[in-house]
A and B are shown apart, each in its own frame.
Chain A
């Protein structure tokens, strides 16, 4: 049974606030996919850096190491190398034309307007860089297709694939070049960044240096539907000061599309069968309600401008149910956070960022006019799309599917994974069992999935009455 949903709170423009860049990692998790941003910044040079020559992904691997309910934990390693050149002692030329005027200004201001200066500095007027503003310092942004071919491989497949000859890709050349200079890298501790290492070879340019980073990474993927594969999406290397280098990597852990395309297409499902299995709780008509809501939001990114959006994630938290007696509908209120992972158009600093919009949402759900708390409720977001409207503003459209069950078919069924909403059991069942472990207030359980790798995005939620 499909019923329409009403959206009660839909403002004209939602603000996406960039989150603070965190080191050495930042995670954005969505249903079935996660993005991991790895980030390092280090004062590597003794003398001001003159040139950023290249960034090389020397090694990237990752594999599934743990599985819990429908969540999977991936662990891996990454090794990167940045080649740069330092200025020689005589190469630091400066312009002295304004020095006399500015020194004089300092002295003049020592004698007057002191009080004013104090207040100006105290205000700390904050100025954002304009999008078109060019940075003083060089940076390199590499896309996935520019990276070495083998960097896309999971750990298990790496050894065999490394024996194959890398063909064609510019990244492969970079990698080979990188291996020539590795030398001192062997034995480096995992997770440590090795300092700038002097290239001593006669063929090396004077002042040439290398900064190497080797680190492990790990990331959970929730609600996994298919085979998840970690992919190194983008790498950004930049000079962010006279002596400081920044390295950023975006790793996407999502469904392996190649494998999905290899699989035979699903047979056409019957109308009733298109519901998630977790919702097949009752066969009685009128006891299971499903509805699709289409959201269209105008999003404006504050304080930053994305050049490319890599993904969108939606999280819901703190659900609260009530019943609207006038409308005769179930009211579902929750906090919803919409997050966007993007590549900033602003050069000069960190370019991979996450921006979020958090707001309270309310949905009126049809449930056959029953003034009863539903036994199960789940929401699923179908792929959202972000379309640029104009600078820093996007139109976000998505479909949300809500499923609501009013009765359970098998009440004695399984407990579910922690962390999800919902679950279990009426009072009758509880009295038959031994005393269950004490739950946290408002604890909920998710009904166990039929198979963690099976496509199953719906979550069963039952509420203890």
Chain B
């Protein structure tokens, strides 16, 4: 958020407040600054009130995101905040300073992602958001979204865009070949390069195998629900309430297979649990309780989890000179250690997803009968 002088901020707030219905009582509320906006409340002690969000993105993207949020809210999803429209019936206000929109606020606390029970709760919240999600985007076309690959997304259907997302991964993997051949030919000069050359064959094979599985799993995109994905899975975008997890903002989004969001969530936060298989199972269970997984999605999930994405990231940071070699060598070593734990967890998950889950389903079926 751009730093503005206090006086300017107050004027801006006053102008924005004036665009909403007086019944909301915004005029009489005090404003507390948050990272991405303001918290408006009558009593600073109480958390009841509204949140005024400030976004610096393409307004068209914001419009689509808010339309999506309103749509899922209307279908009964309690995991997103209710959007309040302006007196003119607009979902957001467009100004020079950015795009602003108002939502109701709920009492709660930031979620503690290192706690065992948080991750399953967040997964459930995501599933609830995606439950009503895989519908065609209004108008069937998007603008301002640049997914990996060419041509521009406006010319492509949703299914094709999801395919481009896969292509992007393949390109990532292919990019890694060049540094490997270079360092192998010219000799590695530091720990990062040495670790890279030593572990590249295994990691490349791992990535290639993952992509092959993803292709097999998603060969028929009709079996793979695709749609809006919440791009910002950082803890700061979630809010722990008494009822469960609430997703604060949907304005960071992209398109792709819905299951990739669960995979990303696990890759981000399961390391905090040392890739604990029980936590992984519990997280998938919570997600599945709200949004059942198809066989192709299970396949996809396992493959996506195994894809060595951070290996690509470190290589890119190294080649771009964004990070020093000793730091990246330490990170790569750390990642390689983590992969040994991840492997154990994935082996367990694979067995569980394909065998035990089927048994459970059979059991459930029998009980129903």
B179 touching A103, Cβ below 8 Å:
no
How many A-B Cβ pairs are below 8 Å? Answer: 153
Give, as a whole number of angstroms, the nearest-CB distance from B121 to chain A.
Answer: 16
Report A90-120 residues with CB < 8 Å from chain B CB.
Answer: 92-96, 98-112, 114, 117-118, 120
A94 touching B199, Cβ below 8 Å:
no
Complex: A43 Cα to B197 Cα, angstroms: 12
Which B residues touch A94, using CB under 8 A?
271, 334-335, 337-338, 341
A136 touching B198, Cβ below 8 Å:
no
A243 touching B169, Cβ below 8 Å:
no
Complex: A241 Cα to B216 Cα, angstroms: 34
B269 touching A48, Cβ below 8 Å:
no
A92 touching B340, Cβ below 8 Å:
yes
A103 touching B264, Cβ below 8 Å:
yes
Give, as a whole number of angstroms, the nearest-CB distance from B240 to chain A.
Answer: 16
Give, as a whole number of angstroms, the nearest-CB distance from B353 to chain A.
Answer: 21
A318 at the interface (CB under 8 A from B): no
A137 at the interface (CB under 8 A from B): yes
A135 touching B191, Cβ below 8 Å:
yes
A190 at the interface (CB under 8 A from B): no
The binding surface of chain A is classed by DSSP as: loop
Residue in B closest to A112 when the chains form the complex, CB atoms? B146
Stretch at the interface among A121-129, A267-275, A395-403: A121-129
Complex: A93 Cα to B271 Cα, angstroms: 11
B204 at the interface (CB under 8 A from A): no
A136 touching B319, Cβ below 8 Å:
no
Proximity string of chain A (126-162) to chain B, C-beta cutoff 8 Å, 1 when within and 0 when not: 1111000111110000000000000000000000000
Given A109, A120, A126, A133, which contacts B326 in the complex, CB threshold below 8 Å?
Answer: A133
A99 touching B268, Cβ below 8 Å:
yes
Give, as a whole number of angstroms, the nearest-CB distance from A301 to chain B.
Answer: 14
Given A92-B341, A95-B334, A100-B113, does the pair A117, B316 have CB atoms closer than 8 Å? yes
Given A106-B310, A111-B146, A241-B199, does the pair A127, B194 have CB atoms closer than 8 Å? no
Which A residues touch B336, using CB under 8 A?
48, 242
Given A102-B313, A349-B188, does the pair A242, B147 have CB atoms closer than 8 Å? no
A107 touching B264, Cβ below 8 Å:
yes
Stretch at the interface among B231-239, B284-292, B354-362: B231-239
Proximity string of chain B (320-344) to chain A, C-beta cutoff 8 Å, 1 when within and 0 when not: 1100011001110111111011000
Q: How many residues of B contact A (CB 8 A)?
A: 63
Complex: A103 Cα to B198 Cα, angstroms: 23
Residue in A closest to B274 when the chains form the complex, CB atoms? A96
Proximity string of chain A (67-93) to chain B, C-beta cutoff 8 Å, 1 when within and 0 when not: 000000000000000000000010011
B312 at the interface (CB under 8 A from A): yes
Which B residues touch A240, using CB under 8 A?
194, 198
Which A residues touch B171, using CB under 8 A?
114, 118
B267 at the interface (CB under 8 A from A): yes
Given B165, B179, B190, B316, which contacts A128 in the complex, CB threshold below 8 Å?
Answer: B190
A121 touching B310, Cβ below 8 Å:
no
B244 at the interface (CB under 8 A from A): no
A54 at the interface (CB under 8 A from B): no
Complex: A134 Cα to B334 Cα, angstroms: 17
Given B175, B268, B337, which contacts A103 in the complex, CB threshold below 8 Å?
Answer: B268
Interface centre among A21, A94, A108, A349 (most CB of B within 10 A): A94
Give, as a whole number of angstroms, the nearest-CB distance from A434 to chain B.
Answer: 52
Given A99-B272, A100-B235, A120-B320, does the pair A126, B198 have CB atoms closer than 8 Å? no
A348 touching B321, Cβ below 8 Å:
no
Which A residues touch B326, using CB under 8 A?
133-134, 136
Q: How many residues of A contact B (CB 8 A)?
A: 51
A20 at the interface (CB under 8 A from B): yes
Which A residues touch B272, using CB under 8 A?
96, 99-100
Give, as a whole number of angstroms, the nearest-CB distance from A97 to chain B.
Answer: 8
B189 at the interface (CB under 8 A from A): yes
A121 touching B330, Cβ below 8 Å:
no
Given A48-B336, A92-B337, A241-B198, does the pair A127, B189 have CB atoms closer than 8 Å? yes
B337 touching A93, Cβ below 8 Å:
yes
Given A21, A92, A100, A129, which contacts B269 in the complex, CB threshold below 8 Å?
Answer: A100
Residue in A closest to B185 when the chains form the complex, CB atoms? A20
Complex: A242 Cα to B197 Cα, angstroms: 11
Which B residues touch A134, using CB under 8 A?
326
Which A residues touch B197, using CB under 8 A?
241
Which B residues touch A137, using CB under 8 A?
191
B320 touching A125, Cβ below 8 Å:
yes
Residue in B closest to A120 when the chains form the complex, CB atoms? B320
A127 touching B264, Cβ below 8 Å:
no
B146 touching A110, Cβ below 8 Å:
no
Complex: A43 Cα to B202 Cα, angstroms: 13
A244 at the interface (CB under 8 A from B): yes
Give, as a whole number of angstroms, the nearest-CB distance from B101 to chain A.
Answer: 22
Report B141-191 residues with CB < 8 Å from chain A CB.
Answer: 145-149, 165, 168-169, 171-172, 175-176, 178-179, 182, 186-191
B234 touching A117, Cβ below 8 Å:
no
Residue in B closest to A48 when the chains form the complex, CB atoms? B337
A96 touching B179, Cβ below 8 Å:
no
Give, as a whole number of angstroms, the nearest-CB distance from A306 to chain B.
Answer: 15
B271 touching A127, Cβ below 8 Å:
no
Complex: A108 Cα to B321 Cα, angstroms: 19
B169 touching A129, Cβ below 8 Å:
no
Which B residues touch A349, using CB under 8 A?
187-190, 194
Given A110-B169, A117-B175, does the pair A125, B337 have CB atoms closer than 8 Å? no
Given A94-B271, A94-B334, A102-B310, does the pair A124, B178 have CB atoms closer than 8 Å? yes
Complex: A128 Cα to B183 Cα, angstroms: 12
A100 touching B189, Cβ below 8 Å:
no
16 contacts across the A-B interface (CB closer than 8 A): A48-B337, A92-B341, A94-B338, A100-B271, A102-B313, A102-B331, A103-B267, A114-B149, A118-B171, A120-B316, A120-B320, A121-B176, A122-B178, A127-B318, A136-B333, A242-B336
Closest 3 CB pairs of A and B: A96-B271, A241-B198, A129-B190
Known pairs A111-B145, A114-B148, A349-B187; list 19 more (Cβ under 8 Å). Answer: A43-B198, A48-B337, A92-B341, A94-B334, A94-B337, A96-B274, A100-B234, A102-B313, A103-B309, A106-B309, A112-B146, A114-B171, A122-B178, A133-B325, A136-B191, A240-B194, A241-B195, A303-B189, A348-B194
